[in-house]
A and B are shown apart, each in its own frame.
Chain A
Amino acid sequence: MSVTMPPQHPVEDPKPTQGKSLTKAAKAKNTLTSPWATAAAIIIALVWTIPTVALFMTSLIPGDRYRTDAWWTVLADGGLTFDNFNQVLFDSFGDNSTAPPLLEYVFNSIVVTVPSVVFPVVLGLMAAYAFAWIPFRGSNFLFVLIFALQVVPLQLALIPLLRILGPDNLGLAGEFGGVWIAHTIFALPLSVFLLHNFVSHIPREVLEAARVDGASHTQMFFRIIIPLSLPAVASLAIFQFLWVWNDLLVSAVFGSANTYPLTYPISNLAGDYGQYAYLVPPAAFISMIIPLIVFFSLQRYFVRGLLAGSTKG
């Protein structure tokens, strides 16, 4: 999707260089900053932050007060407690007391996510190298096709792909293997495109020197392409990690009770306003902890990945 972005090196630091050399006066003139703009920025920042804080506070309300008391009321009388987290994680999470604990879904999310990140990144890098550096007939057409596939709604593929993975064919639907394959397929267009953007900007001399030395494609891939594209691989991996961890559709269609990740039971119980509704906020908060850690610790790479151009199929 970065097609209209400058066709330079895609992972350049987005930080400006010219801004730093400006004088203070020029800086001030350059911005729109006025008291109104500042006020608007603060309001936006608050509206974008408070809801998440409210989720955390709500998850601390004891179950018997969830219906009737708001979190600020419970906070004021000192009734907030971490009990819900214990109950959700280790006891049970669902519309009855025999439902499995959320911890089971935490593990499912990990098992679903990690291979679903590794597979498309490896396969994507291989294809990206071929499309960028090995001339062959149909190369351009195939690359444009893969690029176009990025925006095809994955809804279009769900029914037949489920049949292919289903009991009559591969027998992988409802298993982790089926979910991995589905996630891998849907990630490939973005993976190939994003890595191609990066790999194609490796200096030609580097590859030609190796070629002259008699290196084969395999040797070039392992000796040059992999080490040099690690930054792009990191960006893509983070992107794909957040995507898969937060996905609901693919897991709902290709998974089963044995494989459902965190999003699935939370989505189900969120619309159920019964006696276990108070378990939803703590569960939702738990589901966000890992992606938020990944996000805040690796934000730089994530932003680079976004800037390198990304739409998600």
Chain B
Amino acid sequence: MGSTALSGRSVIAAGDLGADFWASQGQNLLFAGVAIVAFIAIVALIMFGADLIKGGARDKVQLVVLVAPVLLLLGVGLIYPAVDTAWLSFNEITQAPDPDTGIYTTTMQFIGLDNYRFAFSDPSTLRTILNTFVWMILVPLLSTGFGLAYAVFIDRAKGEKVLKSLVFMPMAISLVGASVIWGNIMYDYNQVGEQTGMLNALRELVGLDPYNFLRDSPWNTFWLIVILVWIQTGFAMVILSAAIKGVPAEMNEAASLDGASAWQRFWRITVPSIRSTIVVVLTTITIMALKVYDIVRTVTQGRDNTDIVANRMYVLSFVEGREALGAALAVILFIFVIPVVVYNVRSLNKVKETH
């Protein structure tokens, strides 16, 4: 195993992994490969099987074959669970021994809005909801603001492509990776000794005292938000940049002949022309910001008043076993996005009508 020509230390280390390791990893890879081949074979078989049918039933059967898997999976895996979660949020789950048999049984009892009442009255849960609200407002505004500014600054500049890639790159990085970058390196704080965190080293350089970014509530929530803004700005920038390039150049030329400054042209021509794209970017990032739990989980685990609904929902449901309350928080998240759903469906229908 380890006899491959690796440098000294890694030969030993890789050898330590042993035959078991490679056997089980190979097995997993093989399993994935077989699953893909089998999946494609089954899909193809069913589709060609449906092609053998003669007569008028053929088209109908083939239509069912095409749409049924998606409808079934979404129905069973998304719609039913969503309804079930909503129902669960109005109940209380209790585990108690059965009075006759003594066996522990789980019972569900309808308690109306009690879980919601708790969520909005328990100070720490309420704080979680308010924090989520702050994320929902700040992340889209800051990401879109930075993304738009950058897109305008570098529009038709030399090396635009490379400059875009630099800001877009964090899109490829996981939220966990970005959390490590910021939480463990940029925001790092040492009580004594050299400041190893980049931002605190910078503060020392200009003569400021080191600052514990992740402990100082409520600002720590803002420092966490910065991480998601850092990721999402690239998304906003790429979409807005494409939209800016769609603004007719003649409009800008005419305005500058009329003596409009760059600043005026930006507000009077660019922004109005790409308004609908700005709305799309804002809503997309809003939804994203609501659901993200990776950052809080990785950096603070919700300590020091930084928790958000998505993380609390996970902890309640899958760590603490308080599913009903977790379900209520999931429903609260959904309520936050309902306006966006309605807006989207209405604009989709508009596009369809004009089509």
A-side residues, CB < 8 A to B, are 1-7, 14-16, 18-19, 22, 26-27, 29-34, 37-38, 40-41, 44-45, 47-52, 54-55, 58, 66-73, 83, 86-87, 89-91, 101, 103-104, 107-108, 110-111, 114-115, 118-119, 122-124, 126-127, 129-131, 134, 136, 140, 142, 144, 146-161, 164, 176-177, 180-182, 184-186, 188-189, 192, 216-219, 221-222, 242, 245-249, 252-253, 262-263, 266-267, 270-271, 277, 280-281, 284-285, 287-288, 291-292, 294-296, 299, 303, 306-307, 309-313
Contacts and interface: CB of A to CB of B under 8 A. Distances in A.
Interface string B255-286: 01000001101100000000011011001100
A122 B242 CA distance: 29
Nearest to A287: B177
9 contacts: A52-B181, A54-B198, A68-B196, A142-B71, A148-B341, A150-B344, A181-B73, A192-B70, A216-B59
Given A151-B287, A153-B337, A218-B62, 16 more contacts: A32-B155, A32-B262, A32-B265, A44-B150, A47-B230, A71-B196, A86-B10, A91-B13, A129-B66, A147-B345, A156-B331, A176-B31, A218-B65, A267-B176, A270-B298, A311-B287
Contact of B156 (A27, A41, A49): A27
Nearest to A283: B180
By Cβ-Cβ distance, the 6 closest A-B pairs, closest first, are: A246-B174, A295-B172, A90-B13, A160-B81, A185-B77, A157-B81
B344 to A, nearest CB: 6
Of A159, A180, A310, chain B has the most CB atoms within 10 Å of the CB of A159
Contacts of A292: 169, 172-173
Interface string B157-198: 100000101111111111111011111111000100111101
A34 B262 contact: yes
Given A148-B344, A155-B330, A242 B69 contact: no
Interface stretch (B94-102, B108-116, B288-296): B288-296
A90 B10 contact: yes
Contacts of B170: 48, 52
B43 A122 contact: yes
Contacts, number: 420
B206 interface: no
A118 B172 contact: no
A242 B168 CA distance: 13
Interface stretch (B34-42, B119-127, B217-225): B34-42
Contacts of A104: 21, 25
Nearest to A52: B181
Nearest to A40: B153
A307 B236 CA distance: 11
Given A144-B349, A218-B51, A248-B175, A48 B166 contact: yes
Interface in B312-355: 313-314, 317-318, 323, 326-327, 329-331, 333-334, 337, 340-341, 344-345, 347-352, 354-355
B134 interface: no
Given A30-B253, A292-B173, A134 B153 contact: no
Contacts of B80: 160
Contacts of A123: 43, 69-70, 73
Given A33-B157, A155-B310, A217-B62, A70 B201 contact: yes
Contact of B70 (A22, A40, A152, A188): A188
Contacts of A129: 66
A294 B279 CA distance: 29
A107 B25 contact: yes
Contact of A149 (B62, B67, B78): B78
A55 B185 contact: yes
Given A156-B81, A185-B77, A271 B300 contact: yes
Interface in B62-96: 62-63, 65-67, 69-71, 73-74, 76-82, 84-86, 88
Contacts of B43: 122-123, 126
Nearest to B245: A16
A251 to B, nearest CB: 11
A280 B180 CA distance: 7
Contact of A1 (B47, B177, B198, B284): B284
A109 to B, nearest CB: 10
Interface of B: 9-10, 13-14, 16-17, 21, 25, 28-29, 31-32, 35-36, 39-40, 43, 47-48, 50-51, 58-59, 62-63, 65-67, 69-71, 73-74, 76-82, 84-86, 88, 146, 149-150, 152-157, 163, 165-177, 179-186, 190, 193-196, 198, 201, 230, 233-235, 238-239, 241-242, 245-246, 248-249, 252-253, 256, 262-263, 265-266, 276-277, 279-280, 283-284, 287-288, 290-291, 293-294, 297-301, 310, 313-314, 317-318, 323, 326-327, 329-331, 333-334, 337, 340-341, 344-345, 347-352, 354-355
A271 to B, nearest CB: 5
B77 A284 contact: no
Given A29-B256, A49-B169, A164-B76, A111 B32 contact: yes
Given A157-B85, A307-B242, A52 B288 contact: no
Contact of B17 (A90, A148, A221, A295): A90
Contacts of A26: 249, 253
A219 B318 CA distance: 46
Given A246-B175, A248-B294, A152 B337 contact: yes
A182 B74 CA distance: 10
B317 A159 contact: yes
B34 to A, nearest CB: 10
Contacts of B67: 126-127, 130-131, 142
B149 A40 contact: yes
Contacts of A182: 77
A313 B154 CA distance: 31
Given A155-B310, A249-B293, A287 B239 contact: no
B181 A284 contact: yes
B297 A164 contact: no
Contacts of A110: 29, 32
Contacts of B174: 245-248, 262-263, 287-288, 291
